[in-house]
Amino acid sequence: MRKKFGIIGYPLGQSASPAFFNSKFANEGIDAEYIPFEIADINELPRIIAENPELCGFNVTIPYKVQVMQYLGSISDEAKAIDAVNVVKVTHGADGTAHLTGHNSDVIGFTRSLAPLLEEHHKKALILGTGGASKAIACSLRSLGIEYLFVSRKESENAIAYAQLTDDIMSQHTLIVNCTPLGMVGHAIDQCPDIPYGKLTAKHLLYDIVYNPQDTLFLQKGAQAGAATKSGYEMWYLQALASWEIWNS
């Protein structure tokens, strides 16, 4: 029986995962296929599992990295710590019942791609957005010993608002990570987070976890201000390889 893998999210037009994995399968002689399951509601997941008994695993992207957890039979320690899942391994019991185990490979991809770029002055970071991806980034920054602040459209118990980004905050937090979908194909490609770009300097490093396009408006504005920039493509590539390792473990 030919194995199936896939990705759930909405929308999925921006996802490079189907092309990447199907090319990998063809090049390495792996009898499998990778399918995009674009679902407008997470409640459609049980139907997908039932209709695809060959499904051995799938990735999870916006906006379901947190919502998917309610459907999982077990969750790995790292995903529990992050409280978000982007990789699900599917196994089947003797009676054909599917068991779903959640993992998170975002931390692996982000940490491995960011670490070579860090300099002595990158001691504090701003994490733009408070969704599932931002939790993985926070976990990674903790492991690297970098302090961080969450920034969102509205002030909350865990985040400050964009309007509260003072000169001091901007000068001290020289690493800024965009974890919002702003700038992504299929979402708001002509938009970017509302930070004071005029306060950026050559000491700032802007990292966008968006990988399609690789040069988002967020990164363009950062480069114009003299800041170093990094797209999310390498992070995506590294987490994709980690997904494959998880499915085959």
Return the pLDDT at 191.
96
| Contact of 76 with 47, CB cutoff 8 Å | no
Q: What is the mean pLDDT of residues 189-199?
A: 97
pLDDT at 207 over 90: yes
Question: Rounded to an integer, what distance in angstroms lies between the CA atom of residue 120 and that of residue 234?
Answer: 22
Is the C-alpha dihedral spanning 39, 43, 45, 46 positive or negative? negative
Query: What integer best gives the mean pLDDT of the chain?
Result: 96
Q: How far apart are the first and last CA of the chain?
A: 19
Q: pLDDT tens digits, residue range 152-180? A: 999 999 999 999 999 999 999 999 999 99
Going edge to edge, which strands form the sheet with 205-208? 159-161, 147-152, 124-128, 175-178, 205-208, 228-230
| Contact of 127 with 179, CB cutoff 8 Å | yes
pLDDT at 189 over 80: yes
In this prediction, what percent of the chain has a pLDDT beyond 90? Answer: 93
Return the pLDDT at 242.
95
Residue 65: active-site member: yes
Residue identified by tokens 């995903």 is: 79
Question: Of residues 3, 4, 65, 124, which has the active-site annotation?
Answer: 65
Residue identified by tokens 């997470």 is: 42
Confidence of residue 188 (pLDDT cuts 50, 70, 90): confident
| Contact of 173 with 207, CB cutoff 8 Å | no
Confidence of residue 185 (pLDDT cuts 50, 70, 90): confident
Question: Rounded to an integer, what distance in angstroms lies between the CA atom of residue 134 and that of residue 127?
Answer: 7
In this prediction, what percent of the chain has a pLDDT beyond 70? Answer: 100
Q: What DSSP string describes 47-94?
A: HHHHH-TTEEEEEE-TT-TTGGGGG-SEE-HHHHHHT--SEEEEEE-T
| Contact of 79 with 102, CB cutoff 8 Å | yes
pLDDT at 187 over 80: no
Neighbour-count burial of 203, counting CB atoms closer than 10 A to its CB (0-12 exposed, 13-18 middle, 19+ buried): middle
Q: What share of the chain is helix, strand, coil (3-state, %, to 5)?
A: 35, 25, 40
Q: What is the mean pLDDT of residues 118-135?
A: 95
pLDDT at 150 over 90: yes
Q: What DSSP string describes 95-120?
A: T--EEEEEE--HHHHHHHHHGGG--T
Q: pLDDT tens digits, residue range 38-89? A: 999 999 999 999 999 999 999 999 899 999 999 999 999 989 999 999 999 9
Return the pLDDT at 153.
95
All domains of the chain, ordered by start, with CATH?
Answer: 3-104 (3.40.50.10860), 107-235 (3.40.50.720)
Return the pLDDT at 186.
80
pLDDT at 14 over 90: no
Return the pLDDT at 58.
98
Q: 3-state class of 3 per DSSP? A: strand
Backbone phi, psi, residue 118, to 5°: -75, 140
